[in-house]
Amino acid sequence: MEPDHIHLFVSTPSSLLASKFMQYIKGSSSRRLQQEFPALRKKYWGKHLWGTGYFCISSGNITDEMIKDYIEHHKESPNDDFTIKGEFD
């Protein structure tokens, strides 16, 4: 697993399972990235672009503002200036 991760703060209908939502997000983003960057398509054809796991939690006991504050001020990785270089240009 890569140490990088993405935070998403979303509101979904209660009828939508977290697993289905993540399947949609990962599938759609993977497809779009591979369309935009042909080198990714070659490298990940038939494989997983994203890790297979995810973490999901509801916000019942805390406010939306607390979650947004956490996401905005989360410990930043050394590679905070994310760019795509090299074979993906």
Q: Report the Cα 79 to chain-centroid distance in Å.
A: 16
Domain regions of the chain by residue span:
18-75
pLDDT value, residue 1: 38
Q: For residue 72, how many other CB atoms are within 10 A of its CB?
A: 9
Query: What is the structure's pLDDT at 87?
Result: 46
* Tens of each residue's pLDDT in the chain, 89 residues: 346 777 788 888 889 998 899 899 988 988 898 888 888 888 877 777 887 888 887 777 778 888 888 777 766 554 555 444 544 44
Residues 6+ positions from 1 with CB-CB distance below 8 Å: 51, 53
